[in-house]
Every structure is written in C-alpha cells, then in structure tokens.
Structure 1
C-alpha cells in the first residue's frame, strides 16, 4: 500500500508558446507520462512580496514572456517541493523538483480543457449518493463538480496535510467545505486514499481516481486486484472514473484510434482485466491533455448522457467507447 507515497494529481504537459505579437500563453502539449510542468524557458517567475526574485531562463526575444508569481513554497514528509504559483490565467499547485502541476484553478474560464473536465460528467450516470475523490490535491475536480452539481456530496482523500493547508489558503478549498444551498459540500479526509478505511457506510455512488506520485500513476493502479478492492466500496450501480495518464510509449493520435489502442496504457489494461466487458475508455484530443480516461460499468446511453451534462461536455461524452479485446 502506498502509505508513504504522496497521492497527487497529474494533468498533461504545459509549455509556454510564443505569439507573433510578443505575448505568451500556456499551451498544452502531448506527454506520454500524462503530467504537467511549468515552462522552463520564456517565463519569468517572481516571488511573492518580501522574497527574493527568481527568474527562469531568459526568452529569446524581449517581451515574449508570461510572469508567474510564487505565492507560497513549502515541503513536507510526502513532497520535497510544494509551490503555489500564480499567473494571469491560472493558479497552480506545483510539486516535485521537476515542477509537475498537480492542480489548476482557472481564472478566466469554468473549464480546464483537461481531464478534470471529464470528471464533471460522472454524476448523471451514477446513483444519487456520495462521490469519492481519491487524490484530492488542491481540489480542481471538487471545484468544478460542485459548480455544476451543487447538491453533490464529495469526500476527498489527500495524504499530505500541508497540501490541504495551502489549498485552503490559496485555492478556496475552505469554501468548498461549506454546505451549499442545495446541500452539497466537500468533506476532506487526510490519509491514504487506497486504505481499506477510505470508504463510507452504504458505499459510494461514484469514485474518481486521480493518484500520481513523481509524475507517474501509482504502480498499485496497474494491478487488477487494486481495482477490485476499490469496486467493493461502491453502492449498487456505482461507477469508477479514472485518470489513467498517458501511453507507456510515445504514440501518435493517428496510430491510436483503433478499438484496442488502450493496450498502450497499463492502467487501462489492469482495469479491463478487473472488469471484463464492463469498462469504457476514451483518449483526450491533442488540444486537450492526450490522457486516457476510463469508466467502469456498461456503456451509458450516450445520447441521454450528452443531454444531461453542460453543453461544453455534451459532444465529449459521446466519445466514450467500450474497452474491447483485440
């Protein structure tokens, strides 16, 4: 069990992209590991007030940079590096010396254009009941799910208490812990998300799994037995939705559209072994995160599902397909 491993989130790789008019923005780029890093070039990082300025590698041309502000820096028994970094468009939770982005709080949009958006589509295809977030981080998924479904009861597990403290201070997690007018809220649990104690009486209606350490999916999630144990925590007709990261080898989208192309992702292979005939998958487009995501249970009625989610997600839920053996 990963009792001594940081249970964290991992979105796609982000790089700074130069534009003709001398401005820069964050642009997503494919990553076989399925994680994100802040740009190593063409970005100026300045610390919050009263701290020493730190500057990334100078851009090739003056004026082609986006400023990032370091709001907080810390470390814990679980994470050697913990940083909260701000930009005009997003706020980031950055972990690990490799500068992996584990949570994003968008400022200019309700959506991340990454795999977190997929989690918002889960409630319409599960029973009413509590939903577990295994790998809470700074609460990106919780923010989005409560915004769209303000009645939902979320229970999130995060192993690192320092991350929770910073998330309350800088990512508005304290607001999520307050009950909405429709009765929804986030309940935070500090501990191992894969522990047998990470459950509730009566079971979960849904379980969202987004567990990474050092930029990689936890090795336990590549074992069928782990998924069978998680499934025991579901109520009848409950489902698991998973961020499976990227392929284990570099692949192109053109070569990765067949009915069995999921075999390039070891987490989906383990899920398919655990739930034969009861697993669905999709691969996000190159404009998004190029991550694989998976959903247990029979394939939902895609037309009905698409009408039950926000319009931004409506065409995306129709991309789910059954996980079929070659």
Structure 2
C-alpha cells in the first residue's frame, strides 16, 4: 500500500497513509528538520483586466509590447508584499493557459488563468516560499532512494527547492504546456535545473499528459508530487478513485504520494470568519472531493491533519 500526503494551499494540511513496515527513513527526515524557515502569507496579484487577451502562439513581439503597456498601469499591487513595485516581463496565451510573468524586487511570480493565482515563484534572497512548495521539499526525507516525479511542473518552484536541499535527487517533471516550459526556462531558471549538479542530481522535463500511462520510469518512483490544476481548479481526474490507483502503480515499494489538494474552501459556502471556521473544521476536509477520493482509494491507511491549527481526523 502506498503512502499519500496531501497539502492544501489554504490552512496548510497533510494527509498521510502509513506504508507497510512503518517508516524506515527517520534519519533522512531528521536531516530535513534542521532546515527551518520563516513563513510568510500566500500572495495574490491584482493586475489590470484583461491581463492577457488571446494572440497567436509564440508571438513574442506582441507579448512584450503588451507587457510594456501593462507595466505602465498603476493598479497592480501584490497582496502581502512589502514593496508593491513590479514589472510584467512577459504575457501571452498558450493552448492551455493565460501566462503572465511578474517581477518584483524580492521575487518573481508565474500567474496563470484569469484568477491571477500564483502558480510558481522564485525568491531572490532565500529558497523558502512560505507556501505549499516548502512542504513538497520534505518528501525525500520519508521515501526510499530513487527518482521523484513532479506531475504539474509549472515554473519549477518545487524542483528548485528539492534540488537545492537534496542535490543528488533525480527529478522527472511533467508539464502539458510547452510554452509555459519555454517561459520557465527563460524567466525561472528551469534550464539550470536540467544540468547535472555536483552531486549528480538533475531535472528531466517531459512535455505531455502527467496522468498518461507513459508518465513513469522503470522500477517506479520513490515519490510522486501531484500539483495539477487547470483554470485555477484541481483536475477533475483527481477526484476519481481510479486515478489514484493508477498513480499508486507507478510507485516503488514504500513509495509515497504528496498532493496539493488546493481549494478546500472552494467547495464550501459561507463568508468571513464563518468560512474560515468551516475550512479548519475536521468535517470540511472529508467533504473535499480530492481527499474523499484518496480516502476511498486507501481505506484505513490515512491520517488527515490541518497544521494551522493542529486538528486530526482519521478517514
């Protein structure tokens, strides 16, 4: 039986499925525990709308011209950022996404879709993000030696963290949007991750469907990170039990799955403090369709815990 750990972007959470034979990787986990960091609030950008009207693919000249126009607008401010000055480095529409790259004095951000949610970020003065990507960086501490898959590579935030902290890792990243990968290489240093580190680790990038049968390696993955969204919503396939069976088959023995369940609050109704209370209630977690599918796929082997505050619930 595989182990699964779920991470939600609002009220960080983790859902763990105990693997057979218990955890044999306490030494590696202790090694990770010493890498402490300060968290900061999750940010959202408010850009002029529409931020990125449709255009021909790879029309870089038009994209840069529109980016320059957008940059002149005074109405964009990042929520939670100390310095609101910013510049739009690129803006274009691909077959799969509306893509905007925003640069600030402290960080660089990848915004996708009309939601303006931050799907990737790269800090200039520290490696930690203060968001769910930091939780992904703990996965190597609790899995066997072996390759780790990132399903939904985006701009490569998780890959940056993993190779910085675990430089001997072999990462296999899947992303369906080839233009997004091109922009990640240009603006987020993804191409540097594709080079071998001094310790021998690297990232291999695959363009295609992360849930296809071909998204695997011989011998299986030690760990699989699932961070799949479309139009600001988690992929509907992840709400199906069979999808998790298929992902589990791609693991080596004692392998683990870590998933960003995201949008727990999107399936709840309410406002203000009442909504926050519902998000942090134990009952709300099992109402999340993705977590519900995980509970059905791995019955009796799950533990759900909201980290802020500490709440536990067994499925």
TM-score (norm 1): 0.71
Q: Which residue of 68, 75, 78 maps to 1:57?
A: 75
Once the two structures are superposed, what CA deviation does each residue of 1:210-242 show, in whole Å capped at 9, x if it has no partner?
000111111111111111110000001101000
State the partner residue of 1:105: 122
After TM superposition, the structure 1 = structure 2 runs for residues 201-216 of structure 1, keeping only pairs within 5 Å, are 201-216=218-233
After TM superposition, the structure 1 = structure 2 runs for residues 35-114 of structure 1, keeping only pairs within 5 Å, are 37-39=44-46, 51-52=68-69, 53-57=71-75, 66-79=84-97, 81-114=98-131
Question: Shift in Å at residue 190 of structure 1?
Answer: 0.4
Q: Secondary structure at the match of 1:226?
A: helix
After TM superposition, the structure 1 = structure 2 runs for residues 1-326 of structure 1, keeping only pairs within 5 Å, are 28=41, 37-39=44-46, 51-52=68-69, 53-57=71-75, 66-79=84-97, 81-247=98-264, 248-250=267-269, 252=275, 254-255=277-278, 260-285=283-308, 324-325=314-315
Separation in 1, partners of 2:10, 2:282: 23
Separation in 1, partners of 2:210, 2:96: 14
Hey, which of these two has a bigger chunk of helix by percent?
A: 2
The answer as to whether partners of 1:157 and 1:193 remain within 8 angstroms in 2 is yes
Q: 1:65 to 1:202 in 2, by over 3 A?
A: closer
Q: Which runs of 5+ in 1 are unaligned?
A: 1-9, 14-26, 30-35, 42-46, 287-318
The answer as to whether partners of 2:174 and 2:209 remain within 8 angstroms in 1 is yes
Q: 1:236 to 1:320 in 2, by over 3 A?
A: farther
Question: Shift in Å at residue 197 of structure 1?
Answer: 0.6
Q: Give the alignment's Cα RMSD to 1 decimal.
A: 2.8
Q: Which runs of 5+ in 2 are unaligned?
A: 1-7, 12-39, 49-62
Question: Shift in Å at residue 40 of structure 1?
Answer: 5.1
Q: How many residues align?
A: 254
User: Where has structure 1 moved over 6 Å in runs of 4 or more?
Assistant: 47-50
Separation in 1, partners of 2:149, 2:166: 14
Once the two structures are superposed, what CA deviation does each residue of 1:8-47 show, in whole Å capped at 9, x if it has no partner?
xx9569xxxxxxxxxxxxx736xxxxxx631359xxxxx9
Separation in 1, partners of 2:102, 2:10: 17
